[in-house]
C-alpha cells in the first residue's frame, strides 16, 4: 500500500493531487481497500479521480 504524504497546507495538497503519478497509486489503494470497482481511472483537471463501474452497465 502506498502511504499518503504529510501535507501541511492546502497548496501542498493541491500540488500533490495535481500530479497523477503521485496521487493515483494512493487513490487506487484506497478504492481497492473498500472493494470498489477501479477499472479505467480518469483524472479530471481539478485532480478529482473517477473510475468506470463495469457492474452498472
Q: Which residues pair with 43 in a beta bridge?
A: 49
Record the cell numbers describing residue 1, joined without a space. 500500500
Residue 37 and residue 19: Cα distance in Å, rounded?
Answer: 22
Band (8; pLDDT cuts 50, 70, 90): very high
pTM for this model (two decimals)? 0.63
Q: Which sign, positive or negative, has the C-alpha torsion 28, 34, 39, 43?
A: negative
List, for residues 33-52, the tens digit of each pLDDT value. Answer: 888 877 877 777 776 777 76
Amino acid at each position: 500500500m502506498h502511504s499518503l504524504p504529510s501535507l501541511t497546507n492546502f497548496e501542498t495538497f493541491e500540488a500533490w493531487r495535481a500530479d497523477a503519478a503521485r496521487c493515483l497509486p494512493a487513490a487506487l489503494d484506497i478504492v481497492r481497500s473498500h472493494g470498489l470497482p477501479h477499472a479505467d481511472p480518469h483524472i479530471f483537471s481539478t485532480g478529482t479521480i473517477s473510475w468506470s463501474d463495469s457492474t452498472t452497465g
